[in-house]
Amino acid sequence: MDESTRRAYLEAMGVTVWVPRGSRGTDADTEETARAASSVPPATEPSPGTSTGPTSLPEDDAAAVTSFERSAATSDVASMDGETLRRTILGCTACGLCETRTQAVPGVGSLTADLLVIGEAPGQEEDRRGEPFVGRAGQLLDRMLAAIGLDRQTVYITNVLKCRPPNNRDPRADEVQACAAYLRRQIELIDPKVILSVGRISAQSLLETDETIGRLRERWHRFGPNGAPLRVTYHPAYLLRSPGQKRKSWGDLKAVRALLAD
Ligand code: URA
């Protein structure tokens, strides 16, 4: 990628392009990330092994089956079409969050999207408007997507939880479990080429791990009924608080872009 294109992408994300020389990541770093990302094997040809380096996908084996995969295998949700699923989520009373929400937030975008973005749970603004990622963090997510040539109409955006936890507290395990069937069905219907998990809670819930986001980034995981390649990146709300991390997030997005282009 030439320098002006790189700058345009970074600026679209709100990454400050001018950085003092001494602390600047080198173009070699940038190119290395791009190279690593572009050499990821296609999802149809997983490389052996369940653990992953930056360039390899874990094998799609039984060990990768999480409670998300197990959930709802027998429930009605597993055979719903997109519209029935959306209406079912809107009327869901499977956990206590239905008592405190304004409305459930199923998701937004295209059911034929190549990229599925999965956040944590609706916040106050999302709960009010019925659409995921519409607050300040959502605006940054839009810029992040724009940086790789996408927008919220061409991707699909949803959350692990479809209802807002009171006071934006962290989702509880029973709530995640109650919602898992919906996410599983969304993934089946969309059958995305790549999943982007944004934020620690999303990544830890989906991958059922306590590993830090720092350790979960920069490698490929597999997730969902079809074992789609999943990449973890920082939550845009965190990036708003820690803009210095946007550059790392840009590396994550480039890996996603490279696999989408594969
Ligand atoms: N944060 C999330 O994780 N999801 C949203 O929809 C909004 C903010």
pLDDT digits (tens, 9 = 90+) for 168-182: 999 999 999 999 999
What are the structure tokens assigned to 224, written together?
């969902």
Alpha helices (runs of H) in the chain, residue ranges in sequence order: 3-12, 27-38, 67-70, 82-90, 124-129, 136-147, 173-190, 200-207, 213-216, 236-241, 246-261
Q: Give yes or no for a contact between 228 and 195, defined as CB atoms under 8 angstroms apart.
A: yes
* CA dihedral of residues 112, 260, 196, 54 (deg, nearest 10): 150
Q: Atom of ligand 1 at shortest distance to CA of 105?
A: 6
Phi, psi for 204 (deg, rounded to 5):
-70, -35
Is the Cβ atom of 58 under 6 angstroms away from ligand 1?
no
Residue 205 has pLDDT above 70, yes or no: yes
Distance 219 CA to ligand 1 centre (A): 23
Q: Which residue has the tokens 């930056």?
A: 54
Atom of ligand 1 nearest to the CA of 201: 3
Q: What is the DSSP string of 184-221?
A: HHHHHHH--SEEEEESHHHHHHHHT----HHHHTTS-E
| Ligand 1 center to 199 CA (angstroms) | 9
Q: Is 152 helix (H, G, I), strand (E, B) or coil?
A: coil
pLDDT digits (tens, 9 = 90+) for 108-151: 999 999 999 999 999 999 999 999 999 999 999 999 999 999 99
For 94, phi then psi, to 5°, come to: -75, -20
Taking only the tens place, the pLDDT of each residue in 18-72 is 333 333 233 233 333 343 444 443 444 333 223 355 556 666 544 445 555 555 4
Q: Specify the DSSP class assigned to residue 120.
A: S
Residue 104 · residue 163 · CB < 8 Å: yes
- Tell whether ligand 1 has an atom less than 6 A from the beta carbon of residue 126: yes
Confidence at 221, pLDDT banded by 50, 70, 90: very high
CB distance 132 to ligand 1 below 6 Å: yes
The pLDDT score that the predictor gives to residue 35 is 36
Q: Return the pLDDT at 50.
A: 33
Q: How far separated are the first and last CA of the chain, in Å rounded?
A: 16
Atom of ligand 1 nearest to the CA of 132: 6
CB of 123 closer than 6 angstroms to any ligand 1 atom: yes
Query: What residue ranges define each of the domains in the chain, with the CATH number in brackets?
Result: 3-261 (3.40.470.10)
Mutation to probe ligand 1, out of 118, 129, 133, 144 (largest number of atoms < 8 A from CB): 133
- Cα–Cα dist 88/104, whole Å: 10
- Give residue 105 CA to ligand 1 midpoint distance, Å: 10
Q: Are 110 and 158 in contact (CB under 8 A)?
A: no
Q: Which amino acid is at 248?
A: K
Taking each continuous run of H as one helix and of E as one strand, the counts in the chain are 11, 6
